[in-house]
């Protein structure tokens, strides 16, 4: 957001919209909180699709599905991914038929991959399929893939280059990470609905969820038009730290940082996002790090960012949006005095 763009910004207009950038499990928690704080129909979620892959002949889009299941109340609360009350009959038979079953697709979840694969094969876009599935499952928010084109995260490891799910699930994130590649991102066309959402004049806030920066947020930013549109958003861009007390809240972010020889600190996450960030939300336990982030010119808000309960998610979402509103007001005030 530029200061001029924020000029005149006072209270958010009643018809305001919110955009979140999210990966899977960790990001979906905050997205659920946001959907509880704003009118869900005004919330747009830009989903990472770098984790997508073909498995057992089906197109699997784990982050989209985690968001859909979370917002529809169908998700498995213990895992955070997949559906509650799953059975494994198909997987059991697939195993006896010699199929690779290291990536678990529950019987109910399989219907998602079957319908998506069939519809993709006849030329429907991933966006259209996802929005239709959202409607059918009672999700009022818009979940948008970053692109309709296939982008594939590759993990450069000491054991060679691995497709993301082979690294993440099959090899349990054990190989030492040396870097990441987002195959197809350079030529991928940004989802036009994503670009529209990010430039909408009614935009109140852009929230970068506490997802893994390397494998969840970077693939979205690797789609160049999304990255450049973020620079000109008419609302503050606020990120929530995925690192709390020197560790990741969920998943391998901290392990990856160690292996990439990056300090396991929210300061390093803020540094990665500094070019497009207007505000950073830091956990209360890391409050002493605020001056280091503010030194990048990024205002900081502390909050309880560990989202164990639904109340935690809603509370954090509220803090993030109020922080963003305060940044809008501050930018508006500055433009008057400058
Ligand atoms: N994660 C696992 O750790 N093991 C699995 O077998 C697995 C299956 C799976 C199926 C569908 C789906 O939507 C997600 C699934 N996940 C599984 C989660 C997924 O691999 C990761 O959470 C994301 O790709 C990272 O955001």
- Residue-wise pLDDT tens digits, 112-166: 999 999 999 999 999 999 999 999 999 999 999 999 999 999 999 999 999 999 9
What distance in Å separates the CA atoms of residue 85 and residue 77, rounded to the nearest whole number? Answer: 10
DSSP structural state of residue 288 = G
pLDDT of residue 30: 98
Residue to substitute in 26, 28, 103, 248 for testing ligand 1 pocket (most ligand atoms within 8 angstroms of CB): 103
Q: Is the CB of 112 under 6 A from ligand 1?
A: no
CB atoms within 10 A of CB 166: 17
DSSP structural state of residue 304 = -
Q: How far is CA 123 from CA 49, 56, 60, 152, in A?
A: 18, 20, 16, 20
Q: Looking only at Cα atoms, what is the longest distance across the chain?
A: 72
Q: Is the CB of 65 under 6 A from ligand 1?
A: yes
Residue with token string 């509370």: 315
pLDDT, tens digit, 9 for 90 and up, residues 190-241: 999 999 999 999 999 999 999 999 999 999 999 999 999 999 999 999 999 9
Q: Is the CB of 104 under 6 A from ligand 1?
A: yes
Residue to substitute in 29, 81, 88, 108 for testing ligand 1 pocket (most ligand atoms within 8 angstroms of CB): 81
pLDDT of residue 335: 60
| CB-based contacts of 184, cutoff 8 Å, min separation 6 | 149, 150, 151, 152
Q: Where are the domains of the chain?
A: 3-337
pLDDT of residue 33: 98
- Are 180 and 212 in contact by the 8 Å Cβ rule? The answer is no
% of the chain residues with pLDDT over 90: 92
Q: What is 48-85 written as a DSSP string?
A: --TT-EEETTEEE-HHHHHHHHHHHT-B-TTTSSSBTT
What distance in Å separates the CA atoms of residue 61 and residue 49, rounded to the nearest whole number? Answer: 6
Listed range (16-20, 36-40, 101-105, 248-252) with the worst mean pLDDT: 248-252
Residue 5, pLDDT above cutoff 80: no
**Mean pLDDT, rounded, for 10-26:** 81
DSSP structural state of residue 166 = I
| CB-based contacts of 204, cutoff 8 Å, min separation 6 | 12, 13, 16, 17, 18, 38, 235, 321, 324, 325, 328
Residue with token string 């990966």: 23
Q: Whose CA is nearest to atom 12 of ligand 1?
A: 62
| Distance from Cα 171 to the centre of ligand 1, integer Å | 13
Helix or strand run (H / E) with residue 32:
helix 25-37
- Name the nearest CA neighbour of 34 among 194, 210, 195: 210
% of the chain residues with pLDDT over 70: 94
Q: How far is CA 57 from CA 100, 113, 213, 268, in A?
A: 11, 9, 29, 39
pLDDT of residue 331: 85
Ligand 1 atom closest to Cα of residue 106 = 10
DSSP structural state of residue 12 = P
Q: Is the CB of 167 under 6 A from ligand 1?
A: no
**Mean pLDDT, rounded, for 256-261:** 97
pLDDT of residue 9: 42
Q: What's 3-337's CATH class?
A: alpha beta
Residue 264, pLDDT above cutoff 50: yes
**Mean pLDDT, rounded, for 251-259:** 95
Residue to substitute in 31, 62, 210 for testing ligand 1 pocket (most ligand atoms within 8 angstroms of CB): 62
Pairing state of beta strands 203-208 and 17-22? parallel
Question: Mean pLDDT score of the chain, rounded to an integer?
Answer: 94
What distance in Å separates the CA atoms of residue 241 and residue 244, rounded to the nearest whole number? Answer: 7
Q: What is the pTM of this model?
A: 0.94
Q: Is the CB of 168 under 6 A from ligand 1?
A: yes
Residue 3, pLDDT above cutoff 70: no
Ligand 1 atom closest to Cα of residue 48 = 26
Q: Is the CB of 169 under 6 A from ligand 1?
A: yes
pLDDT of residue 332: 79
Using DSSP, state whether 110 is helix, strand or coil. helix
Residue 333, pLDDT above cutoff 90: no
pLDDT of residue 293: 98
What distance in Å separates the CA atoms of residue 105 and residue 95, rounded to the nearest whole number? Answer: 12
pLDDT of residue 250: 78
Q: Is the CB of 188 under 6 A from ligand 1?
A: no
């Amino acid at each position: 957001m530029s200061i001029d763009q924020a000029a005149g910004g006072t209270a958010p207009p009643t018809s305001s919209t919110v955009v979140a950038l999210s990966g899977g499990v960790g990001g979906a928690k905050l997205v659920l909180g946001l959907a509880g704080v704003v009118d869900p129909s005004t919330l747009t979620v830009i989903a990472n699709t770098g984790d997508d892959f073909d498995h057992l002949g089906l197109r699997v889009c784990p982050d989209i599905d985690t968001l859909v299941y979370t917002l529809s109340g169908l998700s498995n609360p213990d895992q955070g991914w997949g559906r509650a009350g799953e059975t494994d009959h198909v997987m059991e038979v697939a195993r006896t038929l010699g199929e690779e079953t290291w990536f678990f697709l529950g019987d109910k979840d399989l219907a998602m991959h079957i319908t998506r694969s069939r519809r993709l094969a006849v030329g429907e876009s991933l966006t259209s399929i996802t929005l239709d599935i959202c409607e059918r499952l009672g999700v009022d928010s818009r979940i948008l893939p970053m692109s309709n084109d296939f982008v594939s995260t590759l993990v450069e490891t000491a054991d060679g280059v691995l497709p993301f799910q082979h690294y993440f699930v099959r090899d349990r994130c054990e190989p030492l990470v040396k870097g990441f590649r987002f195959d197809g991102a350079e030529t991928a066309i940004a989802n036009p609905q994503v670009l529209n959402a990010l430039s909408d004049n009614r935009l109140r806030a852009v929230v970068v969820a506490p997802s893994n920066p390397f494998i969840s947020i970077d693939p979205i930013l690797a789609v160049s038009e999304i990255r450049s549109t973020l620079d000109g958003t008419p609302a503050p861009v606020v990120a929530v730290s995925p690192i709390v007390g020197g560790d990741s809240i969920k998943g391998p972010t901290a392990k990856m940082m160690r292996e990439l020889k990056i300090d396991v600190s929210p300061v390093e996450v803020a540094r990665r996002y500094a070019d497009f960030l207007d505000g950073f939300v830091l956990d209360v336990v890391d409050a002493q790090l605020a001056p280091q982030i503010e030194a990048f010119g990024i205002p900081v808000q502390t909050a309880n960012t560990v989202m164990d309960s639904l109340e935690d998610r809603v509370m954090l979402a509220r803090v993030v949006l109020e922080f963003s509103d305060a940044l809008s007001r501050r930018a508006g005030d500055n433009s008057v005095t400058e």
